[in-house]
Structure formats: C-alpha cells, structure tokens
Amino acid sequence: MLYGRFLALASATASLILVAGCQSNRPAASAASSAALPTMERIALGASGCWFKSGDPAFQAYRLAPELNSFSGRPRILIVPAKSPEARPLAVIQAEGQPARLEAFGPLFSEPVGARMSADVRRWAAGDRGCS
C-alpha cells in the first residue's frame, strides 16, 4: 500500500515537472516569424486580401503572382498585368535571410500607388495584418 502511494506520488511529480519544462516565458516563434518565408507569406496574404480580393480599383489592372517556394532562399511575390500574366513583372517584392531583408522594386513603385504599396509592405513585414 505504501509502495503504491509512493509510485502514484512519484508519477504525479514527474508529470508536473514534465509539463512545467514544456512551458516557457519566451514569445512564441518570434525569431522564426522574422525569417524571409514567414515575412513574405504575411506580405502575400496582405497584398492578396487588401489589394486584389478587396476589389481595390488601384489594382484591377494587375494580378498577384506569389513565388514563395524558392529554392534560392529568396521568396517573392510579383505583380503582373492582369491580361498578360506572363509579361515582365511591374513590381517585385522579395526577402532573404533571418531577419528578413526586404527588397521592393519595379516601375509600379514609381506610380502614384507606389508609396501606398511601400507603406503596406513595411506594415505587413512588421506583423500587422490589416489593410490601410
């Protein structure tokens, strides 16, 4: 009887230690979320939802072409003409490294919508998920 209680107590103590060891005060995956791929995933989701799926008239002539599965370690999204998706991209947004180093370039960034695009990309890269 005493031996059974000892085993039950030892088992309960080991379980508590195991559960306590799994918990942490660190923020969940903050370092991983600053890497190139998760950063570009956030940007692609933001661009898709806020620029294209929302019906924003500034983007009706364009199409989003995400290329997130990059073997070069440089995931990117392209903005191409809607009627000619095989044409040269009008905007390229890409990232590499940890933390991600962003690059955004192309003629669309020189257009009136370019300043807004740059601000949105910076916001999404920083973790904001909303539209401007």
pLDDT, tens only, 15-57:
434 333 444 343 344 555 889 999 999 999 999 999 999 999 9
Range of the domain at 84: 32-125
Assess if residue 5 is contained within a domain.
Answer: no
Q: Positive or negative CA dihedral for 128, 118, 100, 48?
A: positive
- Nearest Cα to 131, choosing from 32, 61, 42? 42
DSSP-based helix, strand, coil % in the chain, nearest 5: 45, 15, 35
Assess if residue 23 is contained within a domain.
Answer: no
Assess if residue 21 is contained within a domain.
Answer: no
Tokens of 89: 């991209």
Q: What is the pLDDT of residue 71?
A: 79
Cα–Cα distances in angstroms (integers) from residue 106 to residues 77, 92, 103, 111, 114, in the given order: 12, 6, 10, 10, 10
Assess if residue 72 is contained within a domain.
Answer: yes
Assess if residue 59 is contained within a domain.
Answer: yes
The count of structural domains within the chain is: 1
- Residue count of the chain, please give it: 132
DSSP single-letter state for residue 109 = G
Question: What is the pTM assigned to this prediction?
Answer: 0.74
Indicate whether 132 pLDDT > 90.
no
Assess if residue 57 is contained within a domain.
Answer: yes
Query: 55: number of CA atoms within 13 Å, CB side?
Result: 0
Assess if residue 130 is contained within a domain.
Answer: no
Assess if residue 107 is contained within a domain.
Answer: yes
pLDDT in tens, 71-120: 788 999 999 999 999 999 999 999 999 999 999 999 999 999 999 999 99
